[in-house]
Structure 1
Amino acid sequence: MAKLLYPAIFHPEDDGYSVYAPDFDGCFSDGDTLEEAYDMIFDAIGLCIEELRGNGKPLPAASSPASFALSPGDFSALIEFDPLAYAKKHDSRTVKKTLTIPAWLNTIAEERHVNFSGVLKDALISHLDLR
């Protein structure tokens, strides 16, 4: 999965920052610190992307951060959205898979108390180069 870059507009508040991603309707958040506001808009963008994909809609093209007229004190920044990092952070569901292996391999693995799910997960991460 390729990383995506979307602009966000940050507005300093008395107690932190409000922030929105103009490429997504209703994508607002805030944070007590700049880092927290960045993390919160990252998650808000993830929710917007999940909703769009879940409804079979295309993702919006990213606007240029320079294309927005900013109010005094506001600033824009690109949010680097990594769909894989977002999924790892927010999707802890497990999926049951049925697989077939030779009986002799199963016998040895069971004798050695192999965690089949753990081995398969590690092998898939390695095979798909997701580390």
Structure 2
Amino acid sequence: MKKVERYFYPAVFTYEQGQEIAVSFPDLGCATSGTNEDDALLSARELLGCVLNGLEEDGENIPAPTPLPLVKLEENERVVLVDVYMPSIRMAQVNRSVSRTVTLPAWLNAAALEREVNFSQVLQDALKEQLHLR
């Protein structure tokens, strides 16, 4: 199945005196906030990308976005159409780091610490060599 390159979803920006701007995606059941409109929009776009990427990776159904005129609003709310370009999000996830726990003898750990060895880099190099990925 061809993956969608760009998604567009309505986000509800809620304004309360003295508070950050709350941003919610009614179709996705998630929310974020921002200190001002620029920050709120950037946070919304980042959240939208993370949520949709997660749904894609899990093979979940991605709900259709509600048309802007049908989004229900309160007096202190505005609807904003937020878009996200998924190829960038997907590539960022390919290169993300994951944490692994390794076990090694105490003497080897002490020797490596004494020589200020970067454990992550050594493990990455060794795995690339073992898997012939150089």
User: TM-score band (shorter)?
Assistant: 0.5 to 0.7
- 84, 87, 92: which is aligned to 1:84? 87
Residues 30/71 of structure 1: CA separation in 2 closer, same or farther (3 Å cut): same
Q: Given the alignment of the two structures, is residue 70 of structure 1 paired with residue 84 of structure 2, yes or no?
A: no
- 1:54 Cα deviation after fit: 2.3
Q: Given the alignment of the two structures, is residue 38 of structure 1 paired with residue 41 of structure 2, yes or no?
A: yes
**Contact 1:16/1:34 (CA < 8 Å) preserved in 2?**
no
- 4, 19, 24: which is aligned to 1:20? 24
**Contact 1:8/1:65 (CA < 8 Å) preserved in 2?**
no
Cα distance in 2 between the residues matched to 1:12 and 1:89 = 31
- 50, 54, 63: which is aligned to 1:51? 54
- Unpaired runs of 5+ residues, structure 2, are 98-127
- Unpaired runs of 5+ residues, structure 1, are 100-116, 118-131
Residues 90/51 of structure 1: CA separation in 2 closer, same or farther (3 Å cut): closer
Residues 82/58 of structure 1: CA separation in 2 closer, same or farther (3 Å cut): same
Moved over 6 A (4+): 96-99
TM-score by length of 2: 0.62
Residues 50/74 of structure 1: CA separation in 2 closer, same or farther (3 Å cut): same
Aligned to 1:104: none
Letter in 2 for 1:19: V
- What does the per-residue CA deviation read over 1:96-125, in whole Å, with 9 as the maximum and x for residues that have no partner? 7979xxxxxxxxxxxxxxxxx8xxxxxxxx
Aligned to 1:4: 7
